[in-house]
C-alpha cells in the first residue's frame, strides 16, 4: 500500500510539472504574437528628411537653384566673333545688369564718326573695338560712377558695313561695302566724277582705334594704272573736291 501511495504522489507531481511547463509555453507564444516585429531598416527622422543638402563650407544649399540663373542668360544676344571690329552704321544691342536686375536694354546705331550714345554714360567711341572690348569699357565706366559690379552684354545686331562718297560725284551718298571694294570702284558706283571734280586731290577719312585718319589718294593716277587703288573699310568716307579753275 505504501508503495502504491508513493507512486501516485510522484505521478501527481509529474503531471503538475507538465501542466506548469505547458502554461509557460502558452504564455510565451501569446507574448510573441503581441510583440511588434523589429526590422533592421532605419526609418529617416522627420528632421533629417526635411533638412536640405547643405554645403559644409558655405552653409548654402549644394543643389543649384534652377529658378535663378548665375548670369543674365535669359536674354541671349546674337553671338558675335570677338575679333569683329565694330564699324560705322553697325547696329548694336546692349544690355546692362546690376544687382541681379536688368537696368537697360537698347539698340544703338554707330554714327559715321564711330560714336554711340548710351544711357548714363553718354557718347562713347566704339569704332575699331570688338563687342567684348566695348562691353569691358562700359562695365568699367558704369562700375566707377553708377553701379556695384555691373555686367554689360554687347552684340552686333546688324552689320552696317557702309562706305560714303561725298563731293564731286554724280550720286554722292552711302553704299554697301562689298568685299574688296576700292576707292575708284566706289566713285564709279556713284556715277563717276562730276564736271568740276579734282580726283587727283581726293582723300579718304577713316576712323580706327578712336582716332581719325586722313589718307590722300590720287584717283587720277589710280585711274591711269600708275598708283595702287585703296581697299576700303567699313565707315570710310571719300571726299572728291572741286578743282580750283
| Separation of alpha carbons 185 and 13, rounded Å | 134
In the β-sheet with 91-98, what is the strand arrangement from edge to edge? Answer: 101-109, 91-98, 151-158
Q: What is the pLDDT of residues 158-170, one digit of tens each?
A: 777 788 899 999 9
Query: Is a pLDDT exceeding 90 seen at residue 220?
Result: yes
* Sign of CA pseudo-dihedral 185, 191, 192, 193: negative
pTM above 0.85, yes or no: no
Whose CA is closest to 238, among 161, 168, 159, 160? Answer: 168
Q: DSSP assignment of 101-124, as one string?
A: EEEEEEEEEPPTTSEEEETTTEEE
User: In which residue are the cell numbers 573699310 written?
Assistant: 233
| Separation of alpha carbons 212 and 224, rounded Å | 29
For residue 76, how far is the Cα from the chain centroid? 6
What residues contact residue 98 under an 8 Å CB cut-off, 6+ apart? 142, 146, 147, 148, 149, 150, 151
Instruction: Please report the domains of the chain, with CATH numbers, ordered by start residue.
Output: 91-158 (3.30.1950.10), 162-240 (3.10.560.10)
pLDDT at 48: 37
pLDDT band at 29 (very low <50, low <70, confident <90, very high): low
pLDDT at 70: 41
Query: Is a pLDDT exceeding 70 seen at residue 61?
Result: no
Fill in the DSSP letter of residue 161: -
What would you report as the CA-atom Rg of the chain, rounded to the nearest whole angstrom?
A: 45
Residue 86: burial class (beta carbons within 10 Å; 0-12, 13-18, 19+): buried
Amino acid at each position: 500500500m505504501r508503495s502504491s501511495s508513493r507512486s501516485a504522489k510522484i505521478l501527481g507531481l509529474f503531471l503538475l510539472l507538465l501542466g506548469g511547463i505547458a502554461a509557460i509555453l502558452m504564455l510565451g507564444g501569446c507574448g510573441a504574437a503581441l510583440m511588434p516585429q523589429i526590422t533592421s531598416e532605419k526609418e529617416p527622422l522627420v528632421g533629417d528628411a526635411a533638412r536640405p543638402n547643405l554645403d559644409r563650407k558655405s552653409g548654402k544649399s549644394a543643389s543649384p537653384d534652377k529658378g535663378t540663373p548665375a548670369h543674365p542668360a535669359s536674354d541671349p544676344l546674337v553671338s558675335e566673333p570677338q575679333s569683329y571690329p565694330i564699324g560705322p552704321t553697325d547696329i548694336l544691342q546692349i544690355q546692362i545688369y546690376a544687382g541681379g536686375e536688368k537696368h537697360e536694354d537698347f539698340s544703338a546705331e554707330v554714327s559715321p564718326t564711330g560714336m554711340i550714345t548710351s544711357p548714363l554714360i553718354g557718347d562713347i567711341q566704339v569704332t575699331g573695338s570688338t563687342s567684348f572690348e566695348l562691353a569691358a569699357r562700359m562695365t568699367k565706366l558704369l562700375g566707377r560712377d553708377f553701379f556695384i559690379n555691373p555686367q554689360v552684354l554687347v552684340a552686333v545686331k546688324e552689320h552696317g558695313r557702309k562706305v560714303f562718297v561725298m563731293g564731286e560725284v554724280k550720286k554722292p551718298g552711302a553704299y554697301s561695302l562689298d568685299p574688296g571694294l576700292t576707292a575708284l570702284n566706289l566713285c564709279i558706283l556713284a556715277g563717276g566724277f562730276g564736271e568740276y571734280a579734282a580726283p587727283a586731290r581726293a582723300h579718304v577719312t577713316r576712323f580706327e582705334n578712336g582716332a581719325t585718319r586722313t589718307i590722300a589718294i590720287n584717283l587720277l593716277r589710280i585711274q591711269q594704272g600708275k598708283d595702287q587703288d585703296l581697299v576700303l573699310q567699313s565707315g570710310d568716307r571719300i571726299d572728291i573736291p572741286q578743282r580750283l579753275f
